[in-house]
Amino acid sequence: MPELPEVETVRRGLQPVMEGSKIVKAETRRKDLRFPFQKDFVTRLTGQTVTGLGRRAKYLMADLASGDVLLMHLGMSGSFRVLKEEDEKTPGQFHHPRSGDRAHDHVVFHMSSGAAVVFNDPRRFGYMKIIARNALEHEPLLRGLGPEPLGNEFDAAMLARSCANKKTSLKAALLDQRVVAGLGNIYVCEALYRAHLSPRRLAATLATKTGQRKGVAGGEPTDHARRLVAAIHAVLNQAIKAGGSSLRDHRQTTGELGYFQHSFGVYDREGEKCQTAGCEGIVRRFTQNGRSTFWCPKCQK
């Protein structure tokens, strides 16, 4: 499943050909993806100018001149490619190789920029939905999402408040999209490693108990919380700059591979020596909440 850096890579790849351009024609080549298309899906898109292309958590959001927003999710195997003047560019594909079978080209946007934006999804776990801008705060797909990890609201104090009364592990809390939006298994493992915090640590330890006794709502942030927020910021910014992680053949708009996987400290490095200076630990893997967790038991406490 693509995480925040990979979705942001797709957004940046699509932005030049979609933003400020009109959807001259929209095609849906089947009745559904993960969910059925709305009956007026094509009608509400045709002739509309994309005034902005943003991202919320793992969703792409195209603002339309009509006041509608086109919400797009890549699912597990979804990818976009841009066709223009016999040239193909792939603004992101994740985990599963992008299918060469055009039978999986399920949605096409013909843009006034001269480009065709094609959504290909062999497994059909992706989905698209049109929502009125003034109804976004009530949209079930978005309503429960927490703060953006790279937004101004997300800091140690906010994370401490969100985790203060949780009885779950720190890793489980970070994967909870209600706590922080857009983080997934890879980047949570990497952030915890950089912060030297165990994925098994209780999430509540990010807030002080003394702060709670003083009447501070949710407690004050501990040094653990400050280190973790700094690590999350650093990991995500570095991954975005690298074009995301290519675990199989995810490619940037230019056709280049994302290369953040070469900077992994622990993810997918089971049995290797810990890269932390002075640490002689060995990276281990265990299953946590149904997902593989990679960590160094010696330096992550």
Q: Is 166 annotated as a binding residue?
A: yes
Q: Is 96 annotated as a binding residue?
A: no
Distances (CA, A) of 118 to 11, 20, 23, 105, 229: 14, 18, 13, 6, 36
The pLDDT of residue 252: 41
Residue 284: beta bridge partners?
A: 295
Tens-digit pLDDT profile for residues 237-261: 988 888 665 444 344 433 444 445 5
Q: Is 16 exposed, middle or buried (0-12, 13-18, 19+ CB in 10 A)?
A: middle
Helix axes 185-194, 223-241, angle to 10 degrees: 130
Mean pLDDT, the chain, as a whole number?
88
The pLDDT of residue 262: 55
Query: What are the residue numbers of the active site?
Result: 2-3, 58, 291
Q: Where are the beta strands (DSSP E) in 99-205?
A: 105-111, 116-120, 127-132
Torsion sign across C-alpha atoms 57, 105, 111, 70: negative
Q: Where are the beta strands (DSSP E) in 40-113?
A: 50-56, 59-64, 68-73, 79-84, 87-89, 105-111
Q: Is 86's pLDDT higher than 80?
A: no
Q: Compute the average pLDDT of residues 282-295.
A: 95
The pLDDT of residue 295: 97
Q: How confident is the model at residue 90 (pLDDT cuts 50, 70, 90)?
A: low
DSSP, collapsed to helix, strand or coil, labels residue 297 as coil
What phi, psi does 112 have (nearest 5°)? -70, -15
Q: How confident is the model at residue 96 (pLDDT cuts 50, 70, 90)?
A: very low
Count helices and strands in the chain by DSSP H and E runs: 8, 11
Tens-digit pLDDT profile for residues 159-206: 999 999 899 999 999 999 999 999 999 999 999 999 999 999 999 999
Residue of 119, 136, 21, 11 whose CA lies nearest to 69: 136
Q: How confident is the model at residue 101 (pLDDT cuts 50, 70, 90)?
A: low
Q: Is 15's pLDDT higher than 70?
A: yes
Q: How confident is the model at residue 1 (pLDDT cuts 50, 70, 90)?
A: confident
**CB atoms near residue 301 (< 10 Å):** 11
> Is there a contact between 203 and 222 (Cβ–Cβ < 8 Å)?
no
Q: Is 97's pLDDT higher than 90?
A: no
The pLDDT of residue 219: 76
Q: Is 60's pLDDT higher than 90?
A: yes
Two structure tokens written together for 250? 């995810």
Q: How confident is the model at residue 279 (pLDDT cuts 50, 70, 90)?
A: very high
Q: How confident is the model at residue 123 (pLDDT cuts 50, 70, 90)?
A: confident
Alpha carbon distance 3, 174 (integer Å):
13
Q: Is 123 annotated as a binding residue?
A: yes
Q: Which domains does the chain have, with CATH numbers?
A: 4-138 (3.20.190.10), 156-295 (1.10.8.50)
**Which bin fits 291, alpha (ψ -120 to 50), beta or left (φ > 0)?**
beta
Higher-confidence residue: 130 or 86?
130
The pLDDT of residue 289: 86
What's the pTM value of the predicted model, to 2 decimals?
0.87
